Amino acid sequence: EIVLTQSPDTLSLSPGERATVSCRASQTIIQSSLAWFQQKPGQAPRLLISPASTRATGIPDRFIGGGSGTVFTLTITALEPEDSAIYYCHQYVYYPHTFGQGTKLEIK
Amino acid sequence: EVQVVQSGAEVKKPGESLRISCQGSAHSFANYWITWVRQMPGKGLEWMGVVDPGVSRITYNPSLQGRVILSVDQSTSTAYLEWSSLRASDTAIYYCTTNFLSAGVDYWGQGTLVTVSS
């Protein structure tokens, strides 16, 4: 099973700042088969990025995915209050598919 | 926009059986993966398994140890997640998603809360 380890576990930043979340895989993720999701309290997750650097439809360009191999990043530039959420990375190339443990982003 | 609608919340006793459902569009269920994701109270997302309609294959997370059954009725575009004997540890929100992630396509249901308590 591929283990995805996100860092940090929590982030507390102010509006306008930049957030960077890292996702490290225990094995190489081929074909950039990595996605990023955002989940707000009481809501289903929402796809932000998939594959690794491609924004999903309707996602603002403040959300930037990058990386390859075993290290991937999600960067959110110019944070807004509504970005407060938990962010998960997810690999979908090897079974079982797996999620990172989540990174909680708090906007001060 | 594809609507994915899941069945309502359930309260069950340990040992009881349960089947929850997820209905999408005919196109998405015929062409995209149908994935189930578990979220235990206050915890992260856990991939349970996937139905790949393209190759008529169902793949489970081994961690579930055969305790659930996934199925799809293509005639009604409805997917099912089933237990024969629930445990308290099955208490969670269960999400259904139909997706083609390599193309950035992903639609989630609203989630079904399953509570198992004596």
DSSP letter string, B77-102: TEEEEEESS--GGG-EEEEEEEEEGG
Identify the pLDDT of residue A98: 98
Distances (CA, A) of A50 to A15, B34, B71, B99, B101: 25, 17, 26, 11, 6
Instruction: State the Cα–Cα distance between residues A79 and A89, nearest whole angstrom.
Output: 19
Q: Whole-number mean pLDDT of chain A? A: 97
**How much is the average pLDDT of A24-31?**
95
Distances (CA, A) of B55 to A13, A94, A108, B33, B49: 45, 16, 48, 10, 15
Per-residue pLDDT tens for B32-58? Answer: 999 999 999 999 999 999 999 888 899
Please give the residue that has the higher pLDDT: either B56 or B59: B59
At A107, which helix (H) or strand (E)?
strand A103-107
Predicted confidence (pLDDT) at residue A15 exceeds the cutoff of 90: yes
Identify the pLDDT of residue B11: 98
The answer to whether the CB of A23 falls within 8 A of the CB of A37 is no
Predicted confidence (pLDDT) at residue B2 exceeds the cutoff of 90: no
Identify the pLDDT of residue A82: 97
Distances (CA, A) of A61 to A56, B73, B75: 10, 38, 39
The minimum CA-CA distance between A18 and chain B, rounded to whole Å, is 24
Percent of chain A with pLDDT over 70: 100
Which residue on chain A is closest to B100 by alpha carbon? A50
Predicted confidence (pLDDT) at residue B16 exceeds the cutoff of 90: yes
Range with lowest mean pLDDT among A49-53, B9-13, B15-19: A49-53
- Per DSSP, helices labelled H in B1-118 are 26-31
Which residues on B lie below 8 Å from A39 (Cβ)? 45
The answer to whether the CB of B44 falls within 8 A of the CB of B111 is no
Identify the pLDDT of residue B65: 85
In sequence order, the 6+-apart residues with CB closer than 8 A to the CB of A22 are A6, A7, A71, A72, A73
Q: Tell me the pairing of strands A4-7 and A19-29.
A: antiparallel
Confidence bin at A95 (pLDDT 50/70/90): very high
Distance of CA A33 to the CA centre of its chain: 13
Question: Which candidate from A47, A86, A99 shows the least CB-CB separation from B106?
Answer: A47
- In 3D space, the residue among B108, B80, B88 whose CA is nearest the CA of residue B41 turns out to be B88
**Subunit contact A35:B101, Cβ cutoff 8 A:** yes
Q: Whole-number mean pLDDT of chain B? A: 95
Which residues on B lie below 8 Å from A36 (Cβ)? none
Ramachandran angles phi, psi of A52, nearest 5°: -25, -40
Question: Which candidate from A44, A54, A99 shows the least CB-CB separation from B110?
Answer: A44
- In 3D space, the residue among B10, B16, B35 whose CA is nearest the CA of residue A37 turns out to be B35
Which residue on chain A is closest to B99 by alpha carbon? A47
Identify the pLDDT of residue B104: 87
Identify the pLDDT of residue A31: 87
